[in-house]
Amino acid sequence: MLRLYDFTGSGNGYKARLLLGLLDISYELVEKDIMAGETRTPEFLAMNPNGRIPLLALESGD
Ligand SMILES: N[C@@H](CCC(=O)N[C@@H](CS)C(=O)NCC(=O)O)C(=O)O
């Protein structure tokens, strides 16, 4: 299953959630608090050096 790293207060995140919903694609939502720096941890930066959400992780792990 796809995994969406997101912050539900984010407009950019909303766009990703809207598209996935319109395409009827199921996904696991992983909430990241951007205000608390949760997208700037070494673990998150290893997935996305940009350090921002939304981030869509594919089933392949990419
Ligand atoms: N489309 C851009 C914009 C993403 C973006 O600006 N995300 C904001 C939230 S709307 C964010 O993660 N901010 C947290 C930060 O910069 O630490 C991208 O994917 O790089």
- Expressed in angstroms and rounded, the spacing between residue 40 Cα and the centre of ligand 1 is 11
Residue 7: CB atoms within 10 A of its CB come to: 19
Average pLDDT over residues 24-45: 98
> What's the pLDDT score for residue 60?
84
User: Under CATH, which architecture does the 2-57 domain have?
Assistant: 3-Layer(aba) Sandwich (3.40)
Q: How confident is the model at residue 57 (pLDDT cuts 50, 70, 90)?
A: very high
* Spatial distance between the Cα atoms of 23 and 43, rounded to a whole number of angstroms: 29
Domain boundaries, the chain: 2-57
* pLDDT tens digit sequence for 23-32: 999 999 999 9
Residue 6 tokens, joined = 């997101």
pTM greater than 0.75 (yes/no):
yes
Query: Is the pLDDT reported for residue 61 higher than 80?
Result: no
Q: What is the mean pLDDT of residues 22-45?
A: 98
- Ligand 1 atom 13, closest CA: 52
User: What pLDDT, on the 0 to 100 scale, is given for residue 4?
Assistant: 98
Contact 17 CB / ligand 1 (< 6 Å): no
